[in-house]
Amino acid sequence: MSIRIEEVFDIQAPPARVWAYLTDPRQVVHCLPGAELTSVQDETTFLGKVKVKVGPIVTAYAGKVILTGRDDANRIVSMVGEGRESGGTGSAKMTMTSTVSEVAGGATQVRVVADVDIVGRIAQFGRGMIESVNKQMFRQFTECVRATLATPIAPTSAESAPTPSAPSSMMPPAMPAAPAASAGATSATPAAQSQSSAAAIAAASAMAMPQASAPPAAPPTPAVQPVKLIPVLLAALRDYVLGLLSRLFRR
């Protein structure tokens, strides 16, 4: 069974970036559903595997892709892929040509034309089923490529410029700027200079003057103990008797 595939999709990315991506199977394989790159023989020959599900059947192919033509000036690349069904007698072959061109706005358009020949169990599901599966796989591929390469659209200058805000009424009024001295302005009088110097000296002295400290708190007054009269009288009597005896003995 032979099937003709023609697809066109746009990407918001520079053509040079899209071209470099689509001509490198080592990168493209990440966006191909069910594909796996197993080996790189040279810059134009790549070995790999791919699984395809059509209806209840899942078929795995092992094969290779060869870059048969590459026109960097016009950004046109051609390749041939062929594989055999793993564990079966089926096979598939594809010849594909992709064209990358620039469109308005710096975006890129990719046009793909492919002819596919299928032999084996998948062919029994008919052309309609296979084309439906192919469109679904191609949609997944384009979404992946867009997500990988698409550049966000930068906002225009009118959109990106910040909107000036009105001055707040709560802002304090600006202090008037001091008038600049003109070439013919007279200098300050000696009296004014001396007053300014005196004010400056007074301000410096006030700043340098130590702060007066609070007077120290008075120590607590000790409690007055009551005087015991009898011991005092006895002590005075004792002193009197001793003094009297000393005078008698001296005579």
Question: Does the structure show a pLDDT above 90 at 190?
Answer: no
Residue at 142 is within a domain: yes
Q: What is the pTM of this model?
A: 0.56
Count the Cβ atoms, other than its own, within 10 Å of residue 141: 18
Task: Compare 57 and 184 and report the one with higher pLDDT.
Answer: 57
- Strand duo 76-85 + 91-102: pairing: antiparallel
Count the Cβ atoms, other than its own, within 10 Å of residue 29: 16
What does the pLDDT read at residue 102? 94
Residue at 222 is within a domain: no
Count the Cβ atoms, other than its own, within 10 Å of residue 31: 19
Q: pLDDT per residue over 126-185, tens digit each?
A: 888 888 888 888 889 899 999 999 865 554 444 444 444 444 434 444 444 434 333 333
* Domain enclosing residue 84, as ranges: 2-149
Residue at 134 is within a domain: yes
Residue at 245 is within a domain: no
Q: pLDDT per residue over 74-102, tens digit each?
A: 999 999 999 998 888 889 999 999 999 99
Residue at 211 is within a domain: no
Q: Are 138 and 132 in contact (CB under 8 A)?
A: no
In this prediction, residue 233 has a pLDDT band, given cuts at 50, 70 and 90, of low
Q: Are 65 and 51 in contact (CB under 8 A)?
A: no
In this prediction, residue 40 has a pLDDT band, given cuts at 50, 70 and 90, of very high
What does the pLDDT read at residue 113? 92
Residue at 122 is within a domain: yes
- Where is average pLDDT lowest: 39-53, 79-93, 120-134, 235-249? 235-249
Residue at 41 is within a domain: yes
Average pLDDT over every residue of 53-58: 82
Task: Compare 123 and 143 and report the one with higher pLDDT.
Answer: 143
The CATH number linked to 22 is 3.30.530.20
Domain count of the fold of the chain: 1
Average pLDDT over every residue of 34-52: 90
Report d(CA 129, CA 236) in Å as an integer: 140
**Average pLDDT over the chain, rounded to whole?**
73
Task: Compare 134 and 225 and report the one with higher pLDDT.
Answer: 134
Residue at 173 is within a domain: no
What does the pLDDT read at residue 58? 85
What does the pLDDT read at residue 109? 95
